[in-house]
Amino acid sequence: MVTIKDSLKLFGIAIVVCCAAFVCTLFLNYRIDLVNARDTISGEQAVKMYEAQLSTSTVVCCVCGLCLVLTSIVMLITYIKNHIDSRSKELGILKALGYSNLSIAKHYYIFGLSVFAGALLGCIGGELYMDKFYQVQNKDGYFSFESEFHIGVPALMIALSTIAFMLLSVWFAYRRVKKPVMTLLREQSGAKMRHSKKDRSPLPFLKELKRDTVKGRYSLIFFVAFSSFCFSAMVQMSMSMKTLASETMGIMILTIGLILAFMMLLLALSAVVKGSAKTAAMMRIFGYDDSDTSRAILSGYRPIAWIGFAVGTLYQFVLLKIMVEVVFKDLEDVPDYSFDFKGLCITLPVFFIAYEVIMKIYSQRIKKLTIKSVMLED
């Protein structure tokens, strides 16, 4: 039921975990070496820089690591849910044959292999980039220590993340397969439709379809919003890094942000198109043109994307403001920071063009959906 091929579909989770492991490896290793070098640090400004760098490492590991881990959890749960829902009949047959919930769910540990792969690659990348990272961090001359290899950092990061996600996979799969056998055989999700007064209000068909395409799909809403958030926050933050930190740090932030943003958006829109294949094919049969079909399926996510962009813009400003005025407030020669309207004016049109190009690509994919292909897939 669960194969290596299924685990390969979790490529997105591996990328997110890789980014988290890469950043955390750099800053955790640097923090350990910085603490070990405390006795060699003298001078008022050097001590203040020492304390500021400790705070920065802690904040980056907590904020970046926690954010990316939560994103990985949401993605993992979504993948397992979709996998079980698409194979509910087979799972129902296994339960009818006498297999217990745990005997079925335990095989979903294989989904944790994507986390292992991502954590391993992230730690290797962090170790390879370590010397360059130390040069950037110590460029002001306050510290002169060299990087040391701490086996505990990658070992614990890889082992703990892999074990935790394997256990999470088994636990969530166990909860999903606890449904009655007949429910699984009938491919019923067991979810009850809730109708409110708003739901009963009449709407034109295309508007109602546009609303229903988004309604209840919380994981897809999260992915679309988070992709826009990453693009907005990371791109604008990278533009400020040249003044506040270094050009190298800006490139690193920009690269991670773009990878996360585009990967999340592509995964979300792929799921939207796949889940709406029957709808698109039937609309074409009933005479709706391609533009109406694409607009009804995809355009509902545009407001969500722009909300994510706005939140990302606010987030990066608040975070950098706190770092400058709280963490590094006692240091000399720290530049003042104010909102970068120039960066926003560059990021905004780039985001608009990139988002609309991707939406156009997926609109073309919707046009290729035919009733014959949907029937053959079923």
Q: Give the tokens for residue 41.
A: 């640090």
Question: 254 vs 13, 69, 247, 251, 347, CA distance in Å?
Answer: 19, 19, 10, 5, 12
Confidence band for 192, pLDDT divided at 50, 70 and 90 = very low
- Chain segment 241-283, per-residue pLDDT in tens: 777 666 777 787 888 888 888 888 887 787 777 777 777 777 7
Q: How far apart are CA 48 and CA 33, in angstroms?
A: 17
Q: How far apart are CA 123 and CA 159, in angstroms?
A: 12
Q: How far apart are CA 374 and CA 349, in angstroms?
A: 37
Report pLDDT for 1. Answer: 64
**Percent above pLDDT 90 for the chain:** 7
For the chain, strand residue ranges (E) read none
Report pLDDT for 307. Answer: 94
Question: 322 vs 47, 145, 361, CA distance in Å?
Answer: 20, 27, 39
For the chain, the 3-state helix, strand and coil shares in percent, each to the nearest 5, are 80, 0, 20
Confidence band for 195, pLDDT divided at 50, 70 and 90 = very low
What letter does residue 326 receive in the DSSP assignment? I
Q: Averaged over 218-233, what is the pLDDT? A: 86
Contacts of 35-42 spanning 24+ positions with Cβ under 8 A: 36/145, 36/148, 37/143, 37/145, 40/143, 40/144, 40/145, 41/142, 41/143
Q: How far apart are CA 104 and CA 111, in angstroms?
A: 14
Q: Give the tokens for residue 55.
A: 């705070």
Q: Give the tokens for residue 250.
A: 């800006």
Considering only CA atoms, give the Rg of the chain.
24
Pick from 133-147, 211-225, 323-337, 344-358: least confident: 323-337
375 pLDDT higher than 70: no
Q: Give the tokens for residue 237.
A: 């933050």
- Chain segment 77-91, per-residue pLDDT in tens: 888 887 887 788 888
What letter does residue 268 receive in the DSSP assignment? H
Q: How far apart are CA 280 and CA 36, in angstroms?
A: 61
Report pLDDT for 124. Answer: 92
- For the chain, give the mean pLDDT: 79
Question: 124 vs 7, 17, 60, 119, CA distance in Å?
Answer: 21, 13, 19, 9
Kindly report the length of the chain. Answer: 378
Torsion of CA 350, 353, 356, 358, to 10 degrees: -70
Q: How far apart are CA 51 and CA 84, in angstroms?
A: 49
Tell me which of 187 and 42 has the higher pLDDT. 42
